[in-house]
A and B are shown apart, each in its own frame.
Chain A
């Protein structure tokens, strides 16, 4: 479910701070609007897991500003590519979590019903 309150739809979602020169593409700052520790910390975790990342950190600029600054320094690759890979990894991970959770829930419900039938039969 990707729906977001439409009140924010006019504002930019993602900003990439402009580089001073082409050589700086391996260290960049991104501004993620309308995000907080929920995505920030998850993203920091997954990016830290990447061998291409030398540093990653995020901060909430001010409690009343609804955005985070994300800083990525890589060992050479363009930071944009590393961030993209981070989102892909996170998404793939969530997809597996979702299928696992839903099959567990289904399995639990089916067995629960079986138990109830057994209870009724025995009583």
Chain B
């Protein structure tokens, strides 16, 4: 592979710096390459491999896109996919030791299992909650003494209802929401507060649709991140103790020791993907000039961890759709702008 190809396709990690960080594959940068955008070339190279997928976690490889696009998807996942979250709380009674405002904030962070695509954003000046924009829960609980005369010190035995969990939140369907099913907090065992006999909670909780840009409680993901695929090149052969040192400089599983025909151990790159790119290898003077650490510029290893409201694959689909929606919105606007400009031109010609 030529030096230019390396600059274009790889990011190089050295002892103290990182080289070739920025994409350079734009028309005009290189003479011998045609870097003009082409959908056909993109479709030829673009690839997605799903490594693992569960109800909450997903890892997948996205190959053949620029960091600008991968980052747009990551940012949309974090901040622009709507979910339902508790936005206002009517506190009729709160005699627990946790203050009203702190309690309301805690409640806001509880993930609510409801598909926000079925709801509308609540208008800023709307006074009434409607079945299209609001979900209501009720939380009413009183802590009492358990009438057991024993010497027990365990609060679980002494008191009833002394721990308030999300399972105590009861969904109250508004008029017209009877068809909705399974509206509940994602987890039933999130501790909201603890109480002692005589303490009491009586609250109405109102959920609205929102996005993470407005408040992090609306973010549908716990984390969404990507890293670039590592590539390790051994510039000479390593045997014996050196090979073992090399193996120890990388994450487990990255370097394999293979036995040569004359009984020596030789180092071989087995799976560069497992490397954390700690660059430990550059701490050893005898190794550092003979190893090249790279990352593939357009191979993204995405990791998406959902809060459990929507499955992670649905979230990624929605993120790509959101980006498409943005393009569509501005295309429409541009149509309108150029349309009106044409009219102005005609007008000016008449005068």
Query: Do A5 and B68 have beta carbons less than 8 Å apart?
Result: no
Residues of B within 8 A of A4 (CB): 329
Query: Do A45 and B23 have beta carbons less than 8 Å apart?
Result: yes
Nearest CB in chain A: distance from B74 CB, A: 9
Question: Of B53, B72, B331, B337, which contacts A39 at CB under 8 A?
Answer: B72
Query: Do B46 and A5 have beta carbons less than 8 Å apart?
Result: no
- A104 CA to B316 CA, complexed, in Å: 12
Question: Of A14, A45, A94, A105, which contacts B324 at CB under 8 A?
Answer: A94
- A67 CA to B26 CA, complexed, in Å: 26
Query: Do A92 and B328 have beta carbons less than 8 Å apart?
Result: no
Residues of B within 8 A of A6 (CB): 121, 123-124
Give how many B residues have a beta carbon under 8 Å from the other chain's beta carbons.
Answer: 55
Query: Do B321 and A98 have beta carbons less than 8 Å apart?
Result: yes
Query: Do B327 and A91 have beta carbons less than 8 Å apart?
Result: yes
Query: Do A91 and B324 have beta carbons less than 8 Å apart?
Result: yes
Residues of A within 8 A of B82 (CB): 3
Q: A1-B321, A45-B66 are in contact. Are A91 and B334 (CB under 8 A)?
A: no
Query: Do A37 and B75 have beta carbons less than 8 Å apart?
Result: yes
Q: Mark B327-344, 1 if CB is under 8 A from A, else 0.
A: 111110110011001000
Asked whether any CB of chain B lies closer than 8 Å to the CB of A59, the reply is no
Asked whether any CB of chain A lies closer than 8 Å to the CB of B42, the reply is yes
- A92 CA to B39 CA, complexed, in Å: 8
Query: Do A49 and B327 have beta carbons less than 8 Å apart?
Result: no
Asked whether any CB of chain A lies closer than 8 Å to the CB of B47, the reply is yes
Asked whether any CB of chain A lies closer than 8 Å to the CB of B232, the reply is no
Chain B minimum-CB-distance residue to A80? B338
For window 63-98 of B, CB contacts with A under 8 Å fall at 65-66, 68-69, 71-72, 75-76, 79-80, 82
Number of inter-chain CB pairs below 8 Å = 140
- A50 CA to B49 CA, complexed, in Å: 29
Interface of A is mostly: helix
Query: Do A38 and B69 have beta carbons less than 8 Å apart?
Result: no
Asked whether any CB of chain A lies closer than 8 Å to the CB of B50, the reply is yes
Query: Do B50 and A14 have beta carbons less than 8 Å apart?
Result: no
Question: Of B48, B76, B329, B333, which contacts A38 at CB under 8 A?
Answer: B76
- A50 CA to B27 CA, complexed, in Å: 7
Nearest CB in chain B: distance from A64 CB, A: 14
Asked whether any CB of chain A lies closer than 8 Å to the CB of B285, the reply is no
- A3 CA to B119 CA, complexed, in Å: 11
Asked whether any CB of chain A lies closer than 8 Å to the CB of B254, the reply is no
Query: Do B36 and A51 have beta carbons less than 8 Å apart?
Result: yes
For window 34-49 of A, CB contacts with B under 8 Å fall at 35-39, 41-42, 44-46, 48-49
Query: Do A41 and B68 have beta carbons less than 8 Å apart?
Result: yes
- A93 CA to B42 CA, complexed, in Å: 8
Asked whether any CB of chain B lies closer than 8 Å to the CB of A16, the reply is yes
- A94 CA to B328 CA, complexed, in Å: 11
Query: Ordered nearest first, which 3 A-B pairs have the shortest CB separation?
Result: A2-B325, A49-B37, A45-B68
Binding site for A on B (CB under 8 A): 23, 26-27, 35-37, 39, 42-43, 46-50, 53, 60, 65-66, 68-69, 71-72, 75-76, 79-80, 82, 117, 121, 123-124, 210-211, 214, 313, 316-318, 320-331, 333-334, 337-338, 341
Binding site for B on A (CB under 8 A): 1-7, 13-14, 16, 32, 35-39, 41-42, 44-46, 48-51, 80, 83-84, 87-98, 100-102, 104-105, 107-109, 112
